[in-house]
Amino acid sequence: MEIAIDLGKRMSYIVMEDNDKVVKEGYAETSKDGFSTFFGSVKDPKIIVEASSTTNWIANMFEGYDITVAHPAKIRLIAQSVKKTDKTDAHVIMDL
């Protein structure tokens, strides 16, 4: 299971995929409880986030999980996107 998170201050958009198929997506509160509730009982997820000022906080929260931090320069497609939304951002993070 891969989980891409477009982090927001209060709410984050999350895309969960299994074998390249979206199984769940939507907003969750940007907190440990919010993420845990959204993820449910997923075992050993691979979590993908964009590098930001909150990356250390996320890494600490998900310590022990497989976490990939995407370099902002590598995901510049988000910034160049004509239709920039949290949903689009999360899907781009997942695709890259």
Q: What is the pLDDT of residue 78?
A: 63
Count CB atoms within 10 A of the CB of residue 71.
Answer: 10
What is the per-residue DSSP string for 15-61? EEEETTEEEEEEEEESSHHHHHHHHTT--S-EEEEE-STTHHHHHHH
Pairwise pLDDT comparison (12 vs 43), residue with the higher score:
12
Dihedral (CA of 41, 46, 52, 54) sign: positive
Q: What is the pLDDT of residue 70?
A: 83
Contact predicate 27/12, CB 8 Å: yes
**Domains of the chain with CATH codes:** 2-95 (3.30.420.40)
Q: What is the pLDDT of residue 82?
A: 60
Beta pairing, strands 46-50 & 21-29: unpaired
Model confidence at 91: pLDDT above 70? yes
pLDDT tens for residues 17-50? 999 999 999 999 999 999 999 998 888 889 998 8
pLDDT tens for residues 41-89? 888 889 998 888 888 888 888 888 899 988 777 666 665 766 777 888 7
